[in-house]
Amino acid sequence: MKKKSTILMVCVLMLSMLAAGCTSGGKENAAESPSAPPASSNAASNEPDANSGADPSKLPSGTKIGIASREILNDYNRGIIAGAQSAIEAAGGSVIVVDGQSDPGKHNENITNLINSGVKGIVVSLGDAQQLAPVVAKANEAGIPVVTTAIGAQVEGTVSDVGGDEPLMASMMARALLSSINYKGDVYVFWVPGAPLLETRKRVLEAIVADYPQVKLHEVPTEHNPARVQVQMQDILTANPKKGSVAGVWVAYDLLATGASEAIRQAGRNEIKMAAIDGDLAGFQMLFQENSPFVATVSQDVNYMGQVAAEALIQAINGHKDQIPRALFTTAFVATQKNGVAAAEKRWGTEFWDKVRLNKADIESKFPQTEQVVVVKPVVP
Q: What is the mean pLDDT of residues 195-212?
A: 95
Name which of 253, 249, 225 is nearest 236 in CA terms. Answer: 249
Name the helix (H) or strand (E) containing 226. helix 226-239
DSSP H helical segments within 99-225, as ranges?
Answer: 104-117, 129-141, 166-180, 196-209
pLDDT band at 7 (very low <50, low <70, confident <90, very high): very low
Give domain 24-163+302-328's CATH superfamily. Response regulator (3.40.50.2300)
pLDDT at 238 exceeding the cut of 90:
yes
Nearby residues of 195 by Cβ (< 8 Å), 6 or more positions away? 224, 252
pLDDT for the residue numbered 46: 41
pLDDT tens figures, 327-343? 999 999 999 999 999 99
Residue 201 CA neighbour count, 13 Å, CB half: 29
pLDDT for the residue numbered 54: 65
pLDDT for the residue numbered 164: 93
Count the Cβ atoms, other than its own, within 10 Å of residue 286.
23
Q: What is the mean pLDDT of residues 107-130?
A: 96
| CA 311 – CA 91 distance, rounded (Å) | 9
pLDDT for the residue numbered 165: 93
pLDDT for the residue numbered 53: 54
Cβ atoms 154, 161 nearer than 8 A: yes
Length of the chain: 381
pLDDT for the residue numbered 316: 95
CA 48 vs CA 54, 160, 208, 290, 292: distances in Å = 10, 19, 47, 57, 55
Cβ atoms 333, 21 nearer than 8 A: no
**What is the Cα Rg of the chain in Å?**
21
pLDDT for the residue numbered 11: 39
* Angle between the N-to-C axes of helices 254-266 and 75-90, in degrees from 0 to 180, rounded to the nearest 10: 150
Chain centroid offset of residue 5 CA:
24
What 3-state class would DSSP assign to 122?
A: strand
pLDDT at 128 exceeding the cut of 70:
yes
pLDDT tens figures, 254-277? 999 999 999 999 999 999 999 999
Which segments of the chain belong to CATH 3.40.50.2300? 2-17+166-301+332-378, 24-163+302-328
pLDDT for the residue numbered 380: 77
| CA 74 – CA 297 distance, rounded (Å) | 15
Domain 2-17+166-301+332-378: which CATH number of 3.40.50.620, 1.10.260.40, 3.40.50.2300, 2.50.20.10: 3.40.50.2300
Query: What percentage of the chain carries pLDDT values higher than 70?
Result: 86
pLDDT at 292 exceeding the cut of 90:
yes
**Average pLDDT of every residue of the chain:** 88
- pLDDT higher at 114 or 29: 114
pLDDT band at 10 (very low <50, low <70, confident <90, very high): very low
pLDDT at 41 exceeding the cut of 90:
no
pLDDT tens figures, 70-112? 999 889 999 999 999 999 999 999 999 999 998 999 999 999 9
The backbone region for 346, taken as left when phi is positive above 0, alpha when psi lies in -120 to 50, beta otherwise, is alpha
Count the Cβ atoms, other than its own, within 10 Å of residue 103.
13
pLDDT for the residue numbered 29: 43
Dmax over CA atoms of the chain, in Å, equals 71
Is the pTM of the predicted complex or chain greater than 0.85? no
> Which 8-state DSSP code applies to residue 246?
-
pLDDT tens figures, 158-193? 999 999 999 999 999 999 999 999 999 999 999 999
Query: What percentage of the chain carries pLDDT values higher than 90?
Result: 78
